[in-house]
């Protein structure tokens, strides 16, 4: 269970103060995929960044099984929470194999052969073993994403956070991603996703939290509930956006 308690985040730019997250509290069971849904700028990515400690100046508390996330050492944190950003942020000076093996080399006491075995296993799971010697600039968007997920998974974190994972994918890669995320959940990983793509959200839905202007406005545990019960402006906006995309297609 991931427990978020009264988390607020304020950013200052010049003389302006912007409240990005406003006193957010929620409990996220890790046996189900949880979606943070909202428009861009709503605060869903910032919430993921707070959970992964990329934002450190928030107020409030985030607990993983009653353990305060901010008290985790870098190693404990990387083995508890993995983060896959929207732009993947692979290391361009390393090939795919080294992108995945370097964290193991630097953070664990595994031997060279253990690291090799672990990375090869992980690359196999994500069907990118043939890309082991490729550099980032040689990969497609979908391949980059799978490498980024593999790099996060290789450290065996309990929770994986995904920021807008479907935003740059074609329908085929989107389907592959959905399957991968479901498999990760089946393998016992907590999966938390931020998205504004309702078509993607419906396909992967297990639990959804709607965020608007830095506040949680709705939580849904069933797809039917999400599709029918809500009449909020945000909900309508996201569905409308989806409709627009479908019409354009």
Partner 1 sequence: MQSNSLDLIVRSLPLFLKGASVTLQVFFSASCFSILLGLFFGMFTSKRLSIPIFSKVLEVVTFITRAIPFFVQLLIVYFVLPDLFKFDIDPFSASVLSLGICSSGFVAQFFRGAIDTISTSQWEAAHALGYTKAQTLVYTILPQAFRIALPPMNNELDSLLKSTAIISSIGMMELTRVAMNIVSREMEPIPIYLAIAAIYVCMSATLNITTRTLERKFSYVKN
Instruction: For residue 14, state whether it binds partner 1 (rule: CB under 8 A).
Output: no
**Closer to partner 1 by Cβ: residue 79 or 173:** 79
Shortest distance (Å) from residue 64 CB to partner 1: 14
CB-count exposure of residue 103 (10 Å: 0-12, 13-18, 19+): middle
Residue selected from 28, 131, 139, 152 as contacting partner 1 according to rule CB under 8 A: 152
Instruction: For residue 87, state whether it binds partner 1 (rule: CB under 8 A).
Output: yes
d(CA 210, CA 216): 6
**Closer to partner 1 by Cβ: residue 49 or 185:** 49
d(CA 124, CA 103): 18
Shortest distance (Å) from residue 72 CB to partner 1: 9
Instruction: For residue 82, state whether it binds partner 1 (rule: CB under 8 A).
Output: yes
d(CA 102, CA 185): 25
d(CA 135, CA 144): 10
Instruction: For residue 19, state whether it binds partner 1 (rule: CB under 8 A).
Output: no
d(CA 98, CA 6): 39
Distances (CA, A) of 215 to 25, 131, 171, 172, 241: 9, 41, 31, 33, 21
Residue selected from 54, 68, 187, 229 as contacting partner 1 according to rule CB under 8 A: 54
Binding mask 106-145 for partner 1 (x = CB under 8 A): xx---------------------------x-x--------
Instruction: For residue 213, state whether it binds partner 1 (rule: CB under 8 A).
Output: no
Shortest distance (Å) from residue 174 CB to partner 1: 23
**Are 202 and 194 in contact, with CB atoms under 8 Å apart?**
no
Stretch that binds partner 1, among 63-71, 86-94, 186-194, 220-228 (CB under 8 A): 86-94
Residue selected from 34, 45, 46, 52 as contacting partner 1 according to rule CB under 8 A: 52
Shortest distance (Å) from residue 115 CB to partner 1: 14
Shortest distance (Å) from residue 149 CB to partner 1: 13
Residue selected from 53, 116, 182, 227 as contacting partner 1 according to rule CB under 8 A: 53
Binding site for partner 1 (CB under 8 A): 52-54, 74-75, 77-79, 82-83, 85, 87, 89-93, 102-103, 106-107, 135, 137, 151-152, 155
């Amino acid at each position: 269970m991931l427990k978020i308690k009264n988390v607020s985040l304020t950013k200052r730019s010049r003389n302006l103060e912007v409240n990005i997250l406003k006193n957010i509290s929620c409990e996220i069971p890790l046996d189900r995929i949880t979606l943070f849904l909202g428009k861009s700028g709503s605060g869903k990515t910032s919430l993921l960044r707070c959970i992964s400690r990329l934002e450190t100046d928030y107020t409030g508390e985030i607990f993983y099984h009653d353990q305060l996330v901010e008290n985790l050492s870098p190693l404990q944190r990387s083995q508890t929470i993995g983060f896959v950003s929207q732009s993947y942020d692979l290391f361009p000076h390393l090939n795919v194999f080294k992108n995945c093996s370097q964290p193991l080399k630097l953070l664990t006491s595994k031997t060279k052969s253990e690291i090799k075995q672990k990375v090869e296993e992980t690359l196999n799971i994500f069907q990118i073993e043939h890309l082991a010697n490729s550099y980032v600039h040689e990969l497609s968007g979908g391949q980059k994403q799978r490498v980024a997920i593999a790099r996060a998974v290789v450290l065996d974190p309990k929770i994986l956070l995904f920021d807008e994972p479907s935003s740059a994918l074609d329908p085929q890669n989107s389907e592959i991603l959905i399957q991968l995320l479901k498999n990760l959940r089946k393998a016992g990983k907590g999966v938390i996703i931020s998205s504004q793509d309702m078509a993607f959200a419906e396909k992967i839905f297990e639990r959804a939290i709607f965020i608007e202007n830095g506040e949680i406005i709705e939580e849904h545990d069933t797809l039917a509930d999400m599709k029918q019960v809500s009449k909020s402006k945000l909900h309508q906006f996201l569905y409308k956006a989806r409709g627009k995309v479908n019409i354009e297609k």
